[in-house]
Copies of this chain bind each other. A is one copy, B any other.
Amino acid sequence: MIRIAIIGMGLIGTSLGMALRNADPKESPLGSLEVIGFDREPRVTREARGRLAIDREARTLADAVREAQIVVIATPVRAIQDVLRDLASHLPAGAIVTDVASTKALVCRWAADLLPATVAFVGGHPMAGREQSGPGAADPDLFRNAIYCLTATSTTPAHAVEAVEALVRTVGAKPYYIDPEEHDAYVAGISHLPLLLSVGLVTATGNSPAWKEMAPLAATGFRDVSRLASGDPQMQRDILLTNPHGLTRWIDELIRFLVTAREQIAAGDVAAIEQMLEQAKTTRDAWLASKPHLRPGEAEFTNFPTVERPSLIGFRWPKREK
């Protein structure tokens, strides 16, 4: 029996719990599980329990991680620092800690600074989500076929990497090993920039004196491009604040694009606008067709990724250090 503690029972924490508890212990590499849930708001933990995401509600952080082999921190990014600090003295020796935050460099630094040497940390980031938040929006299938970024260093114990990878596979996702800094630079472009553009679209139009007249005309295009603006502001705020270097570079890129497009539109430059639109369509259609939830190389066997991933064949839970 593996005991997993989930700290933070929002959309991701609750979805993870549901997916873990739904897994068949005979088929899951983790075997049979007990999931303990904790949220600083007891009402939220109770709701997660109501959704069958956890076996038991913990009253305190210390209670949550008692005898836990795996601890998943699923709070907003900026809360992770405090959670790690508070957890440090309560974690059992040999425990494996992971998180689900959208930025990784800062979180990995906090973990290195704050966790005791008897505990292993593997950063995690499932590339999945939805605009609704809280346990009520949770979905056990949220991670199915999603890429799940994992960060490990040369000093991360193999059994810790194997355990977190087993957790990722148990919820139906695909482990994808990546350097934390690289992760942050990439997701700033494909995840945080889209968020900011959604918010920008709603801010620009919503602040207009004509918004009341415009709103009824807004249709599916507006709905989709603005979708991310309906996400959890607290979570989004932390994402934007913990990845400033990655994000500002992309904002500059977007401003450059808009300035150029504005000139071309004002000048009626047919050829340039046509080229811009055709290139974007080609890029996006190719992305869609490439089955984006395959890892690079997974589609072409000739190009198998060289990243080292511990095999799960013969995975056995290591003896607990006392």
Residues of A within 8 A of B (CB): 127-130, 146-147, 149, 176, 182, 185-187, 189-191, 193-206, 208, 210-231, 233-234, 236-237, 240-241, 244, 247-248, 250-255, 257-259, 261-262, 265-266, 268, 270, 273-274, 276-281, 283-285, 287-288, 290, 292-296
Q: Determine how many copies of this chain the complex contains.
A: 2
- Say whether A237 contacts B187, CB under 8 Å: no
Closest approach, in angstroms, between the C-beta of A215 and any C-beta of chain B? Answer: 5
Cβ contact within 8 Å between B241 and A200: no
CB–CB A222/B190 < 8 A: yes
> Which residue of the partner chain, among B204, B234, B240, contacts A250 with CB atoms under 8 Å?
B204
Given contacts A217-B186, A287-B218, contact A231 B281 (CB under 8 A): yes
Please determine whether B219 and A205 come into contact, CB atoms closer than 8 angstroms: no
Complex A-B: 6 CB contacts under 8 Å: A128-B219, A190-B217, A205-B250, A206-B284, A229-B280, A229-B284
Give A261's nearest chain B residue, CB to CB: B196
Are A265's CB and B247's CB within 8 A?
yes
Q: Are A262 and B248 in contact (CB under 8 A)?
A: yes
Q: Are B203 and A200 neighbours in the complex by a CB distance under 8 Å?
A: no
**What is the CB-to-nearest-CB distance from A1 to chain B, in angstroms, rounded to a whole number?**
33
Among candidates B191, B233, B266, residue contacting A281 with C-beta atoms closer than 8 Å: B233
Contacts of A211 in B (CB 8 A): 283
Tell me the bound Cα distance from A279 to B233 in angstroms: 9
Question: Hey, which chain B residues are within 8 Å of A292, CB to CB?
Answer: 215-216, 218-219, 223
Q: Tell me the bound Cα distance from A302 to B162 in angstroms.
A: 64
- Which residue of B has the minimal Cβ distance to A256? B204
How would you classify the secondary structure of chain A's contact residues: helix, strand, loop or mixed? helix
- In the complex, the answer to whether A228 meets B233 with C-beta atoms within 8 Å is no
Q: Which residue of B199, B210, B216 contacts A277 across the interface (Cβ within 8 Å)?
A: B199
Which of B199, B224, B259, B274 has a CB less than 8 Å from the CB of A233? B274
A200 to B201, CA, bound (A): 13
Q: What are the 3 closest A-B residue pairs judged by CB atoms, nearest first?
A: A206-B283, A233-B277, A194-B225
- The residue that A127 contacts in the complex, of B127, B204, B219, B266, with Cβ under 8 A, is B219
Q: Which residues of B contact A196 (CB under 8 A)?
A: 258, 261
A222 to B293, CA, bound (A): 12
CA distance A62 to B208 in the complex (A): 45
Since A190-B214, A211-B283 are in contact, a sample of 8 more A-B pairs with Cβ atoms closer than 8 Å, ordered by chain A residue number, is A182-B213, A189-B214, A202-B283, A215-B290, A216-B295, A224-B224, A225-B228, A255-B258
> Do A198 and B216 touch across chains, with their CB atoms under 8 A apart?
no
Assess the B220–A253 pair: CB atoms within 8 A. Answer: no
Residues of B near A213 (CB, < 8 A) are: 182, 186, 296
Take A258-B254, A296-B212 as given contacts and tell me if A265 and B281 are in contact as well, using a CB distance cutoff of 8 Å.
no
Q: How far is the CB of A256 from chain B (nearest CB, A)?
A: 8
User: Which B residues lie within 8 Å of A240 (CB)?
Assistant: 265, 273, 277
The CA-CA distance from A254 to B262 in the complex, in Å, is 11
